[in-house]
Amino acid sequence: MRLATLHPELRRGPPHWGNTEDFAQATSIEFDCPGCAGTPHHHRIWAPFLGRYETTGASWTPTGDSIDTLSFVDAPRPQPKH
């Protein structure tokens, strides 16, 4: 399944919250869950990018330069504690 079919949206974090078309400015991505897309139980998945968004939850390491070339090189992992 291609990410493009899951209605992806690049997000940017503080101080300018919202959507962005610029992958370099994106701090995360949100997309339809591939396991339940098109069902009554569908939901969205939010994936913050490691090193671009500070969170206490898991983050992913993105590669690529656009939604079309985005890939995650590892499983989600916790942010390092400061």
Name residues whose C-beta falls within 8 Å of residue 82's C-beta, 6 or more positions apart in sequence: none
pLDDT > 70 in the chain, percent? 90
> Total domain count for the chain?
1
Residue-number span of the structural domain to which 40 is assigned = 3-77
Residue 52 inside a domain? The answer is: yes
**Tens of pLDDT along 19-58?**
999 999 999 999 999 898 889 988 999 999 988 888 878 8
pLDDT for residue 33:
92
pLDDT at site 59: 87
Burial of 48 (0-12, 13-18, 19+ CB in 10 A): buried
State the chain's mean pLDDT as an integer.
86
Residue 51, domain member (yes or no): yes
In a domain, 57, yes or no: yes
Q: Say if 72 falls within a structural domain.
A: yes
82 part of a folded domain: no
CB atoms under 10 Å from CB of 74, counted, come to 11
- In the predicted model, is pLDDT for residue 82 greater than 60? no
pLDDT tier at 78, thresholds 50, 70, 90 = low
